[in-house]
Structures are given as C-alpha cells and as structure tokens.
Amino acid sequence: MSTNANKANPMKVITGPDTRWSYANVWEAKSINGGTPKFSVSLIIPKSDTRTVAKIKSAIEAAYHEGEARLKGNGKSVPPLSTIKTPMRDGDAERPDDPAYANSYFINANSATAPGIVDADRQPIFTRSEVYSGVYGRASINFYAFNSNGNRGIACGLNNLQKIRDGEPLGGKSRAEDDFDTDLDEDFLS
C-alpha cells in the first residue's frame, strides 16, 4: 500500500526507523526570526541507512524537475541542481562538535499545520512528554522547489511522525520520568 502511495508522489519519503528527531517543535508552532510560526523537526538520518538516503536523493531530484519553472523564475535558465540549496546536509561537516549528528545526514522539515504523531502500533500519541528531541522514529516528509526573495532551492515539508522507540534526550535536559525512577531519595538530608 505505501509503495503505491510513494509511486503516486515521487517527492514524498518515509524515513527509516533509525531516524532520530532533534529540535522537535511538534506540539506548538514556533516563529523563527519573526517569521510565520511553524511546526518543525530536524531529522538525523544515519549514513548507514542507505535506503532512506537514496529515497531522499531521488525525491529531491523529482522536486527539482517538478519545480523547474518556479526555480527558473525570471531567469533565462533553470539553475543546475548542484548549485541550489537542498535540504539534506552532512552532520559531520556542519555539526562536527555535536555527537548526535556524527556519521549522519540531517534534514530540517517544517509545516504550517501540526503533524500527526503515532506510536509504533500506529496509535495516536497525545502525551507531550512521549515525543522529545532524542526519540527515534519514522517521518513522512515531502520535498518541493521554492523561489522567494532571490533564494532558490528545494525545501522539506513535514507531514507526519511515527515514534518507534525512546532515545537519550538531546539538549542536556533530563526527563522527569528518568529523574524520579527510584523510590529512594538519595540526596535527602545528606
């Protein structure tokens, strides 16, 4: 079923289950630099997930071809794909000091509408503490061409998210469930 859906839209990708979510602003839209508030997530994709990486490259190319008129704009020709901004970036090159991005690519995906969020059994997740920066899961994303204010390229839209498993929280903040996982108060009056 999903294979047919992806054939219908070559610009849509479902990432592999080892994709890690970072900067997960998926419950409330946030404004960046005074722009329109959006829901967003940075998807960290291991370089070893060659299947997802290949699907993303193919979807970026499809978005480029579908959006050639938009990319051309008022210019005489469509800029080569290799010269425009694309959303898949190399974590080793762009975030060398962040171990979460080591041996990975990353894509920043966003949307004006809230993503649907489900668990591994495809049941909706409503508890905000279940979804945080550091969890692993799949993401439904789509790629499209843009040409705005002199910037041209391919962007990534966020559709839906499926949490597969917990991961070490990113950003240094511990989760309440982890802080209070024992009945003993080791620090009390010590």
* Confidence label for 2 from pLDDT (cuts 50, 70 and 90): very low
- pLDDT above 90 covers a percentage of the chain that reads 77
Burial degree of 124 (CB within 10 A; 0-12, 13-18, 19+):
exposed
Q: Which tens digits make up the pLDDT trace of 75-134?
A: 888 999 999 999 999 999 999 999 999 999 999 999 999 999 999 999 999 999 999 999
Cα separation, 98 vs 82, in Å, equals: 26
Q: How many CB atoms lie within 10 A of CB 33?
A: 4
C-alpha pair distances (Å), 148 with each of 83, 86, 162, 184: 16, 14, 31, 57
Single out the residue of 106, 169, 172 nearest to residue 139, CA to CA: 106
12, 59 Cβ separation under 8 angstroms: yes
Residue 187 in domain? no
pLDDT value at 67 more than 80: yes
DSSP state of 149: T
Residue 179 in domain? no
pLDDT at 4: 47
Residue 38 in domain? yes
pLDDT value at 185 more than 70: no
- 27's enclosing H/E stretch is strand 20-30
Number of structural domains the chain divides into:
1
CATH number of the domain where residue 144 is located: 2.40.50.140
pLDDT at 175: 59
Cα separation, 27 vs 116, in Å, equals: 10
pLDDT at 34: 87
Residue 99 in domain? yes
Beta bridge partners of 142: 12, 157
pLDDT at 21: 97
Tokens of 173: 């903040």
Give residue 109's Cα distance to chain centre. 5
> Half-sphere exposure of residue 6, counting CA atoms within 13 Å on the CB side?
14
Domain span holding position 15: 2-165
Q: What's the mean pLDDT in 49-74?
A: 95
Residue 132 in domain? yes
- 145's enclosing H/E stretch is strand 136-148
Residue 189 in domain? no
Q: Which tens digits make up the pLDDT trace of 129-160?
A: 999 999 999 999 999 999 988 789 999 999 99
Is the model more confident about 177 or about 170? 170
Residue 184 in domain? no
Average pLDDT of the chain?
90
The angle formed by the CA atoms of residues 49, 71 and 89, to the nearest 5 degrees, is: 25
Is the model more confident about 186 or about 167? 167
Residue 181 in domain? no
* Confidence label for 8 from pLDDT (cuts 50, 70 and 90): confident
pLDDT value at 171 more than 90: no
